[in-house]
Amino acid sequence: MLTSVATDELLRALADPLRARIVELLAGEQLCTCHLVELTGARQTNISNHLRVLREAGLVDPQPAGRYTFYRLRPEALTALAGHYAALADRARDAAQLRRPCT
C-alpha cells in the first residue's frame, strides 16, 4: 500500500503531459533519451529533466548500455497507484449510503 506522500509524488510526476507521454512510450519498450526526443519532439534537456523526475518518483529505472542509457517503466509503481485508487473506489461504494449527520 502506498503512503499518501508516495501517492502524491507519483501523481505529481504523472500530471505533466510530457511525463505522461514518456510513461506511455516506456510501457511498450525500453527507450533511450534520443528515442524519446525523436518520439516526442521535445528537447534533450527537457526529456532528461522529466526522466529525472520520473526516476525520483520511482516510475522508471535507468539501464546503462554502453554509451547509452535506456529507461524502463517500473510497472509495480503503476500497479501500486492503481491499487490505491481501486481501494478508494471500493470505500466509496461501501460508503455510498452513509451520511454524516449535521449537528
Q: Which domains does the chain have, with CATH numbers?
A: 4-91 (1.10.10.10)
Judge whether 42 and 36 are in contact, CB under 8 Å: yes
Model pLDDT for residues 72-99, shown as the tens digit of each residue:
999 999 999 999 899 999 999 999 888 8
User: Phi first, then psi: what are they for 59, rounded to 5°?
Assistant: -90, -25
- For residues 24 and 18, give the distance between their C-alpha atoms in angstroms, rounded to a whole number: 10
d(CA 87, CA 40): 34
Mean pLDDT of the chain: 93
| pLDDT number for residue 6 | 81
pTM for the full model?
A: 0.85
Q: Each residue of 72-94: b (16+ CB within 10 Å) or e? A: ebbeebeebbeebeeeeeeeeee
pLDDT at 69: 95
Encode pLDDT of 17-63 as tens digits.
Answer: 999 999 999 999 999 999 999 999 999 999 999 999 999 999 999 99
Residue 7: the pLDDT is: 84
Q: What's the pLDDT at 54?
A: 97
